[in-house]
Amino acid sequence: MIKADGKVFFLNTKSTTYAFRVMETGQLEHMYYGRLINCDEPSVLKEKRAFAPGNTITYDDAHQDLTLEDVRLELSAIGKGDLREPMLEVICADGSTSLDFVYDSYEVISGKPEFKTLPSSYDESGKVETLNVTMKDKNHGFTLILSYSVFEECDVITRSAKFINTSDESVRLTRMLSMLMDYDHPGMKITSFHGGWTREMNKSDIVLPAGKFVNASFTGTSSNRCNPLFMISEPDSCEESGDVWGFNLLYSGNHYSATEVSSFKKTRVVYGINPQNFAWDLAAGEEFEAPEAVLTYSAAGFRQMSLNMHDFVREHITRGPWKKKERPVLINSWEASYFDFTEGSLLKLAKTAKNAGAELFVMDDGWFGDRNDDHRALGDWDIVNKKKLPGGLEGLSKKVNDLGLMFGLWVEPEMINVDSELYRKHPDWAIDIPNMDHSEGRFQRLLDLCNPEVVDYMIDRMSEVFSTPGLSYIKWDMNRNFSDYYSKYLPADKQLEVSHRYVLGFYRLLKTLAERFPEILMEGCASGGNRFDLGVLCYYPQIWASDNTDAVSRLAIQDGYSYGYPQSTYTAHVSACPNHQTLRVTPLESRFAVASFGVLGYELNLNDMKSEDIAAVKAQIELYKQYRKTLQFGDFYRHRADNIYQWSIVDKDKSTSVSMLMQREIVAGDQYLKLEMAGLDPQTKYHFFGRKLEYNVKGFGDLVNTVSPIHIKQDSLVHNLVAKFVKMPGEIEDYVAYGNTLNSNGVKLVQSFVGTGFNEEVRYFPDFGARLYFVEKADD
C-alpha cells in the first residue's frame, strides 16, 4: 500500500515500511526502511538540523543549516555539496556537470508498468501499486522519474529511474544508476557472491566501518566474478535473526553497486549499470531507462530475506507456460561424448536414459557445420553436420521422440568463429576493432548485437532451428567475456554505448524467440553461471548454475544461489567420477542428493556404467519424480554450511518436506548429528523417515574379516565377488512428531560409524557421504 500526499511517502508491504519525504529545498530525504510501522507524519523520522557542520558546502544562501553531504537521500548527483557516490552524472552541452534535481510532482498508479527497452517485473494479482515521483533539474530543465513498485505479499519494493532530456540541447549520461539509499549508521555487514568459472557464488562477508566497498562486473555480463545479488545487514545478523536488506538487479550486462560510509557515519548504497566505459547521448526529447532494482527487508535474518526473494522471482520474474510447470529430468550429451558423437551413439545414450526414467534428451555442442572442436563453425546454424546426423535435426528429433523422450538442443547464438561461413560472409558483424589484434576467448568472438541487422538475422536463424519438429528444449550458451569493446555499426562518438546496446540487442533477440516459441523450455547458460541474473530469468525460467558438476563444489555454489534465487531457477546434473572438473570421486548417491536440490539432470555416459549403478540411477529418478513438485517449488531453507551442509525444502501447503545432509570429511569419534528442520506446520503430526540404502561391502575394506567366516583379502577376486552379492544394510530412521517439535528440536539421528561397531542403528557416513530425509503428514 502506498500512502502519499506530495510531502511524505509511505510504502508499506505486509511486514515492511519504506518512507521518504520532500524537504523544504525540494530534495527527497530517505527516512526509513525496515519493519512495518504506523506513522502518519515524519516528525520522529526526519533528521533535525540547525547549523551545517564545519568544512562542508551549504546548499544555498537561504539554507545555511543544510549540507547535502550529511542528509540521507533518495537521489544525488554532482555539484551541490554531496561528496558521496552519486546516482547519476552527466556532461551538459556547455560542458558543465552539476545537477540540482528537486521535487516536481507524483502519481500513484495501480499495477506494474512494463519497461520500454528492458525486462521488468510484472504482476498478475492486481495487488501491486507503483509510485512515480517526478524530479526537475533547476539548471537545465532535465526530468528524472523515480519509480517505486510495492509488492505487498512478498515484502519487496522495486526501484528504477528514467532520465528524460526535456531541455533544448543534447546531454551525455556518464552514470545512470537505478537507485540510491542512505542508512543512518556505519559498521554494517555486506554479503556478496564472488568466484569465477567452475567456482561461482562463493559467499563473502565484510563489515564496513569506513570507506567504500564496490561489487561490480566488467565482463559484459552479470558475471561469475561477482553476481549482482548482495545483502546489507547488522553485523550480528544470522540465518534466523537480525535486520537484513537484500538487493538484486534486472540486468544482464555490467553492473555496479557501491556501499560507502561517509565522514558523518552514514552508509550509502548505489546500484545499477556499471559506469565504467559507459556513456549515453540523449538528444532533446529522448529518454533513458535504468534497470529495475529489487529491494527486500527481513527482521528475521537471511532466511526470511531469501524466502521473500524466492517468492518474488517465482511470482513476478519467471513467466510463461513453464513458470509453475514441473521441469523434466534430462540427460545431456556433453560430458558423455563432448564433440565426438554420431546419431547412433546419441540414440544409444537416449535409449538407456529412457529406460532409467529420463524424460528429455539434450544434444549439446557439435551438431552444426564442421564443429568437431571449439575452434570453428559458430554462427553456421543453418548447416547441420550430416556426417554426424545424416537425417538432420528433424531425423534425430523424430527418433528421440519415438523413444518416448522430449528432444533438446544446445545453441550459442551470440558467438561467431573466424573459421565459419558466417564470418567469411560478414566479418563486419563481429565485435572487434578494425586493424587491431583482437583478444579472443574460447577461440571465438561476439556477434555485434548493437547492429539491428545482426539481431534480425539471428532471430531468423534461431527461428528455423527452434521450429525443428519435436523440439521441446533449448540450452542457450554464451562462452566468452567482452574484451575489445567496439561496434563497427556505431560511429566513433557512440562507442561508449556498446556494452548497453549489446544487452538491449540480446534482450530483443531473446524476447522475440521466447514469444514465438513459448512452449519450448529454454535454459540459460554462460560457461555456467557467468550470466545468472533476474534479467534473463524474465525470458527463460532456469539457468545452468555452473559447469562444475562436482557434488562437493556444488554445495557452496548452490548454497550461494539460494540466497536470492529459488531452486527452480538453477539446474544441477549428476555426472561421472572422477569428476571432469575436479577429478574428485564422490558417491553416486551424494551426487544425486545435491543435484536433486536444483532442477535435476544427468550428464554422463550411462552406457559405460555398471548395471547396479544404472539401477541406482533409475531408483533416483523415480524418487525425484515422486517429490519433484516439492523439490522444485517448495520453500528452501539453509541450515548448515560448514563441514556439514544441510538444506531442506518444505512444500507450500506444508504437507511434505525433503532434507539433504552432506558431509565433506569424516571427523573421527564424532558420533552424533542433529537434522535441523523449519517451516513445518506446528500443530500437524508428521512422519519422518530416511531413505533406506544399501552399501558396498568394499567400503569397509578388510574390516569385512570381522564378520566373515573366512579370511578375505582386500580387493581380491573373492572380495569383489562378495561385494556383488552381499550389501551392507543402511541405518533406519523412522519417527512420528509434531511440527513444533521438529521445527524447534529437529531430529537427533542415529550415530555415525566411529570404529566400534556397525549395524542398522549406525550410519555409514564416509567422506562426501550424503542422505535424504522425508517428512510427510502422518495418518491420524
Q: Which residues contact 503 (CB under 8 A, 6 or more apart)?
A: 251, 252, 253, 535
642 is an active site residue: no
Q: Answer whether 40's CB lies under 8 Å from 10's CB.
A: no
The burial of 421, by beta-carbon neighbours within 10 Å (0-12 exposed, 13-18 middle, 19 or more buried), is given as middle
Q: Which residues contact 181 (CB under 8 A, 6 or more apart)?
A: 30, 33, 74, 268, 269, 295
The one catalytic residue among 123, 155, 311, 547: 547
CA distance 614 to 594: 18
Q: Are strands 143-151 and 156-164 parallel, antiparallel or unpaired?
A: antiparallel
CA distances to 615, 619, 654, 695, 696 from 692, in Å: 15, 12, 23, 10, 14
- DSSP string of 426-472? -GGGB---TTS----BTTBEEB-TTSHHHHHHHHHHHHHHHTSTTEE
734 is an active site residue: no
CA distances to 563, 600, 651 from 657, in Å: 19, 17, 6
The one catalytic residue among 137, 364, 365, 477: 477
Q: Answer whether 255's CB lies under 8 Å from 220's CB.
A: no
Q: Answer whether 273's CB lies under 8 Å from 500's CB.
A: yes
Q: Are strands 88-92 and 171-183 parallel, antiparallel or unpaired?
A: antiparallel
**Three-state secondary-structure class, residue 757:** coil
CA distance 350 to 362: 9
Query: C-alpha angle 475/335/545, rounded to 5°?
Result: 50
Catalytic residue positions, numbered: 477, 547
